[in-house]
Structure 1
Amino acid sequence: MRWWSLANLVSNAGTWMQLTVQNLLVLEITGSAAAAGLSVSVQAAPALLISLLGGAAVDRWPRRTTAAVSQALLGLVAFATAALVATGGMNLPVLLVLAAVTGVVATVDSPACALLGNDLVRPEDVPSAIGVGSLVSNAGRLAGTALAGVAVGFLGTAAAYAANGLSFLFVTAVIPFLRPVHTAAVRSRTRQRTRDERGPGHDLTVRQGLVFFLRRPRLLALAGVTGISAVFGRNYGLTLAVLVTGPLAGDAEQFGTVSTVLAVGGIVGAVLGARLRRPSVRLVGLLAATGGLLQVVAGLSPSLAVLLLLVLPMAVAETVSDTAGTTVLQTDPPAHLRGRVLGVWGSISKAWGLAGPPALGLLMEWAGARGALVAGGLVVAGAIAAGSLLHRRRTVAPVLLPAGERGPAARPELGTAA
């Protein structure tokens, strides 16, 4: 697990180096901000459309092999991009094709790598492993963003893509040496339990994963909480940027300070999230609602100093909520369905990711930065509170009868209520 975490730290740093310079590259080629947005959409489109197929592939194929091949392919795409940029052969159509290929491979790579990390620890340690992954992701984001400026300043844009390619190859080289924690006996019991879970009508179709997700109330609740937060909350890179440079009369350097505090809060939240043993959807909702209320207060901040005091707990609440939600998502389904469930999640989360910024942009046009933060936070907290109240009203409390009045007919009813 330590080797896997190191590999992911290197990979995340490389990925953020590339993401940091990608929009700059498009602007250099075309001079068009619309083209930069188009490249982001083209890379995101496969996750929206075919994540279900990617998840099914992860359930069908050996996990380590799948992760190693997908990482190697992503490395080759990064090296190809670096070579074309360095030789002057890059143009917008080629860049869009490479972005689309990256998006397609990522639909398999993301669930494969997520589940491979879980295989390296005991089942009871999976929440901690997911927390470590969140910590590595935030640390890699900080390191990659900083290294991108250094690489571009001294070596040019192609260097960031080449560094990302090397990071993928490093992960590929580490994967063959990873060994799942399960012994042969545990694997045998797991296979038998999986066969029992599958039942006589089991298959490995995409439809089965979708049906499982839609019939699982706690996963639907998790999707609702995460979706409302993604559309009306979070997206702090957009809302806080407008707040700092607008009503608070700050500049880019001051927004950089806010971004740094957000990143530090993400690391603190990841450390706290790693301590969760059995998180629930209720905890995810409580943290998301807390983040929404903090967002409301942040929208009313009279100064940058007050905003900085609020940004840290906002980031902590967001990261712990994300870690708890990811744990539920990756441990709730049976083993043979986890890839497809993550595929379903990949599609709907990408839809939220694409819908959130435009929705917040329109809200800021109508209500301003402060109004958008306040209104969005109230929507998040209010929707989660309403959903919780509705769930409580639908839950029938068990009726405990005196011992003498308990009959055989009462037992199934009590069991069902429990």
Structure 2
Amino acid sequence: MSSSPPASPAPSAAVHTPDPDASAPDASRSPWRSLKYRSMRWWSVANFVSNAGTWMQLTVQNLLVLQITGSAAATGLSMSVQAAPALLMSIVGGAAVDRWPRKLTAAVSQALLGAIAFTTAVLVACGGLNLTVLMGLAAVTGVIATVDGPACALLGNDLVPPQDVPSAIGVGSLVHSAGRLAGAALGGVTVGFLGTAAAYAANGVSFLFVASVIPFLRPAHGAVRGAVAELPAPAGATVGEDMTVRQGLAFFMRRPRLVALAGITGISAVFGRNYNLTLVVLVTGPLAGSAGAFGTVSTVLAVGGIIGAVLGARLRKPSVRLVGTLAAAGGLLQVLAGLSPTFAVLLVLVLPMAVVESVSDTAGTTVLQTDPPAHLRGRVLGVWGSISTAWGLGGPPALGLLMELTGARGALIGGGLLIAGSIGGGFLLRGRRGTAPVLFRTDAPQPALGTAA
């Protein structure tokens, strides 16, 4: 983000005015319970518009790069340039989210992303977009995203009480899926009638819509927020000293629950979940299916993801143990998928694989966003952003190499056994140790939101 942090935190009383419509927390397990809060409803609408705009742009972005450069390698390079800041700067972006007023940070970052989309639209319309400018815009987008991602994620959590965060995350997943479908459809229509620049302009409008909604959002009664001005610094330290990048990294590394979550998610991301790579080879290779058959698999995966998001939204206090159990179950289902004798058997297995993955994602995201103290959550998400980017970039090549050595069936079976075995071994080791987790010491208040791993 191009703006520099203020010397001292801005007052946040206006940010934390309670939502007059917020009712006292109840024991509802409805997946839609987060939508009873007016601000959460508006935030969901805004996210749908934003996701639709983003996918309108993404439908034509790779084609645009190919038109400009004529190189598939340049297309991959532009994606890497945009992802690189997350690998290197996410922890800094998370620290900025902890230090700055959250609503202002999210609104400004959305406005800046909108400005980049409008700039790209103008350059495309005028024929002034070349490879150098394209890479520059991709890099700037990646830098802003290191702040925008955690700011918007935590802002959404502010709108509901802690026990309804899983519902908010599940609803967000559904909104993302709906926005993706709408955006892809609208993107083709928009480009066909108005041209490529119109897709970028529409995305710019979607960002500005989100920025215009943010000032009117109000936190729910009982929501835990990370306002710097409301949090006391540890003994002997000022608030500014308590907001360092190093402290966020130290908290993450000394919190066994978060380290375990990173290990579970990482091994699952590298050796499983890359189904667009493993299943397409299995379907078109050993199972002798067509590209259309893999399209059917993709549809079933999408349906399973939606079902899983609804089930995950019913959770109230998910734990790392639940995430690990679901990930191990997903690994075993992956083994069975690798052993599938026919395409029909594979389809039967794909649906529960997607459901388990989606529920596990919702549970893990909830733990990640609610376990740390409120004033450290941005930095914890920043550390997570760097880690997840690393395994996101390294996973496909590692899995591709495994497929070269063992084939699609071998990669699915071996990867699934590795996931289930590693998680099972971790559970056994922790049970034998029988010691309580060592918590990172801080004098700042720590809400008891996460459950034991």
Asked if Structure 1 and Structure 2 have the same fold, meaning a TM-score greater than 0.5 normalized by the shorter chain, the answer is yes
**How far did 1:188 drift?**
11
Q: Equivalent of 1:318, from 344, 354, 357?
A: 357
Instruction: Report the AA paired with residue 273 of structure 1.
Output: G
Instruction: Report the AA paired with residue 110 of structure 1.
Output: G
Tell me the distance in 2 between the aligned counterparts of 1:52 and 1:23.
28
Aligned length: 394
Q: Equivalent of 1:114, from 137, 149, 153?
A: 153
**How far did 1:192 drift?**
9.6
* 1:200 lines up with 2:236 in the alignment: yes
Tell me the distance in 1 between the aligned counterparts of 2:227 and 2:93.
23
Tell me the distance in 2 between the aligned counterparts of 1:278 and 1:44.
32
Tell me the distance in 1 between the aligned counterparts of 2:140 and 2:435.
50
Equivalent runs, 1:330-369 vs 2, <5 Å: 330-369=369-408
SS in 1 for 2:219: coil
Aligned to 1:406: none
**How far did 1:267 drift?**
1.0
Instruction: Report the AA paired with residue 200 of structure 1.
Output: G
Instruction: Report the AA paired with residue 152 of structure 2.
Output: C
**How far did 1:21 drift?**
2.5
SS in 2 for 1:203: helix
Aligned to 2:141: 102
**How far did 1:187 drift?**
8.3
Runs of 4+ in 1 over 6 A off after TM superposition: 186-193
Please say if residues 209 and 340 of structure 1, whose CA atoms lie closer than 8 Å, have aligned partners that are also in contact.
yes
Range that drifts further, 213-222 or 292-301: 292-301
Tell me the distance in 2 between the aligned counterparts of 1:251 and 1:317.
26
**How far did 1:248 drift?**
2.5
* 1:85 lines up with 2:121 in the alignment: no
- CA deviations 1:12-46 (Å, max 9, x no partner) are 12222323322222222222221111111100000
* 1:8 lines up with 2:44 in the alignment: no
Aligned to 1:269: 308
Range that drifts further, 90-99 or 41-50: 90-99
Instruction: Report the AA paired with residue 342 of structure 1.
Output: L
Range that drifts further, 217-226 or 5-14: 5-14
Pair 55,94 (structure 1): closer, same or farther in 2 beyond 3 Å: same
Tell me the distance in 2 between the aligned counterparts of 1:151 and 1:379.
45
Aligned to 2:174: 135
Aligned to 2:290: 251
* 1:386 lines up with 2:425 in the alignment: yes
Please say if residues 46 and 107 of structure 1, whose CA atoms lie closer than 8 Å, have aligned partners that are also in contact.
yes
Tell me the distance in 2 between the aligned counterparts of 1:307 and 1:160.
37
**How far did 1:226 drift?**
0.4
Pair 231,97 (structure 1): closer, same or farther in 2 beyond 3 Å: same
Gaps of 5+ in 2: 1-39, 437-453
Aligned to 1:165: 204
Tell me the distance in 2 between the aligned counterparts of 1:153 and 1:364.
39
Equivalent runs, 1:149-298 vs 2, <5 Å: 149-182=188-221, 194-195=231-232, 198-201=234-237, 203-298=242-337
Pair 171,332 (structure 1): closer, same or farther in 2 beyond 3 Å: same
RMSD: 2.1
SS in 2 for 1:278: coil
Range that drifts further, 140-149 or 364-373: 140-149
**How far did 1:246 drift?**
2.4
- CA deviations 1:271-323 (Å, max 9, x no partner) are 11111000000000011111111111112223332222222111111111111
Pair 316,48 (structure 1): closer, same or farther in 2 beyond 3 Å: same
Please say if residues 94 and 147 of structure 2, whose CA atoms lie closer than 8 Å, have aligned partners that are also in contact.
yes
Aligned to 2:450: none
Instruction: Report the AA paired with residue 109 of structure 1.
Output: D
**How far did 1:213 drift?**
0.4
Aligned to 1:60: 99
Tell me the distance in 2 between the aligned counterparts of 1:267 and 1:20.
21
**How far did 1:117 drift?**
0.5
Please say if residues 161 and 224 of structure 2, whose CA atoms lie closer than 8 Å, have aligned partners that are also in contact.
no
Please say if residues 159 and 218 of structure 2, whose CA atoms lie closer than 8 Å, have aligned partners that are also in contact.
yes
Please say if residues 261 and 320 of structure 2, whose CA atoms lie closer than 8 Å, have aligned partners that are also in contact.
yes
Aligned to 2:88: 49
Aligned to 1:409: none
**Structure with greater proportional helix content:** 1
Gaps of 5+ in 1: 398-418
Aligned to 1:405: none
Please give the TM-score of this superposition, normalised by the length of structure 2. Answer: 0.83
Equivalent runs, 1:300-319 vs 2, <5 Å: 300-319=339-358
Tell me the distance in 1 between the aligned counterparts of 2:76 and 2:313.
35
SS in 2 for 1:249: coil
Aligned to 2:165: 126
Percent sequence identity is 78
Please say if residues 139 and 267 of structure 1, whose CA atoms lie closer than 8 Å, have aligned partners that are also in contact.
no
Q: Equivalent of 1:33, from 62, 72, 76?
A: 72
Pair 396,348 (structure 1): closer, same or farther in 2 beyond 3 Å: closer
SS in 1 for 2:128: coil
Instruction: Report the AA paired with residue 136 of structure 1.
Output: V
**How far did 1:190 drift?**
8.5
